[in-house]
Amino acid sequence: VDLETAANDVRDRVSRAQRNLPEDVDPPIVSKADADAVPIVFLNVKSDQRTLLELSDIALNTFKERLQTITGVSQVMIWGDKRYSMRLWMDPAKLAAYNITPLDIRNALNRENIELPSGSIEGKNVELTVRTLGRLSTVDDFNNLTIKESSGAIVRFKDLGFAELYPENDKSILRRDGVPMVGVVLVPQPGANYIDIADEFYKRIDQIKKDLPIDIELGIGFDVTKYIRNSISEVQETILIAFILVILIIFLFLRDWRTTLIPILAIPVSLIGSFFIMYLADFSINVLTLLGIVLAIGIVVDDAIVVLENIYKKVEVGMNPIEAGIKGTSEIFFAVISTTITLAAVFLPIMFLQGITGRLFVEFGVVIAGSVIISSFVALTLTP
């Protein structure tokens, strides 16, 4: 299933259904997400001078707004956020004294805080929708809310209790080392490049820091790409070590630097061809593709050594180098081809594996099989 096509179909259906929704409902948002996707970067936001409500507001309106446009990001989640709410505290004794119930207070809220559509203003090129907002927005508005009028006396909410701004949910809190904080988490889209996302994330964080108050402290809780970068770095070191060992072993048996130089050239040429195959197949440079290249280093040089050794034998018996190259290559042409087909046949079936295993190892199999095929071409053309 093409996720982009499926997402467009869902957006189309949602847009059709949107006209059936109430006018005061925010428009639905459709975004792509992988059920197995996990956060890759966690940024913690803390301050010793601000409440969690204020930190949540900064995380939502500053960080989320500027980070969710990063290419490859499915969503930006806020962990430990506290949303503003108005808490109404009532004194049971005062309620009984005024003969008022909580239901009366609820009815008063519904009566005074209703929002209604009020028509529209039409111009030549624009149409504005007018909406009458509720009267209650501040703590004083709620405290001065009229609950009941009796015999010329007005009972306001402040006579029964008090209102205060308070977090909507105070049953959970995010802490690190005992310090309350708010977390900003990036979740990638399916198939997105984690390293590209992280690089752009750090660039934008550096820009955001310039606009933040000095009391805001930022820290990285975790970054999955650090482990990916370390793994790639280790594989790159392994590639270098394997390349050096192959050179030493070839020289140990051929005992001639000029002869050793030829299969040495075959290695980078074959590996460059492997990267070209990765480009055509839209594979990224990751741990599995680099592991395939590590294994391919020892394999791609086999054909070149066999062809070189056969040509070298004919040169030693006095044959002209050009003639030795042509004859030596033709003698083992089919042997090299059959060996290549055999090796490729071992790794190519990995392409057809299903499920998670197939998704993991398809790049590994294609890289090795492609390297082997290219190495045989190099051995039969460049080596002579």
What CATH number does domain 33-83+173-224 carry, 2.40.160.40, 3.40.605.10, 3.20.19.10, 3.30.70.1320? Answer: 3.30.70.1320
Backbone φ and ψ for 168, nearest 5 degrees, come out as -60, -40
pLDDT in tens, the chain (384 residues): 567 788 788 888 888 888 788 877 777 877 766 666 688 899 999 988 888 888 888 888 889 888 988 988 888 888 888 887 788 889 999 988 888 888 988 888 888 776 666 677 777 777 777 766 666 778 888 888 888 887 778 888 888 899 888 777 777 788 887 788 888 999 888 778 888 999 999 999 999 998 888 888 898 988 988 888 887 788 778 778 877 887 888 788 777 777 778 777 877 888 888 888 888 888 877 777 877 887 777 777 778 888 888 888 888 888 888 888 888 888 888 888 888 888 888 888 887 877 777 777 888 888 888 888 888 888 888 777
**At a CB cut-off of 8 Å and minimum separation 6, what does 187 contact?**
33, 37, 38, 39, 40, 73, 74, 75, 76, 77
Half-sphere exposure of 83 (CA within 13 A, CB side): 5
The CATH code belonging to domain 85-167 is 3.30.2090.10
Please name which of 169, 167, 187, 173 lies closest in space to residue 43, comparing C-alpha atoms.
187
Does residue 306 contact residue 332 with C-beta atoms inside 8 Å? yes
Strands 153-156, 84-90: parallel, antiparallel or unpaired by DSSP? unpaired
The CATH code belonging to domain 256-381 is 1.20.1640.10
First to last CA, the chain: 48
**Going along 195-333, which residue ranges are E strands?**
217-223
**How do the domains of the chain map onto residue ranges?**
1-30, 33-83+173-224, 85-167, 256-381
Please name which of 35, 367, 63 lies closest in space to residue 186, comparing C-alpha atoms.
63
CA–CA separation, 114 and 112 (whole Å) = 6
CA–CA separation, 166 and 8 (whole Å) = 40
The helix/strand/coil state of 222 is strand
DSSP state of 59: I
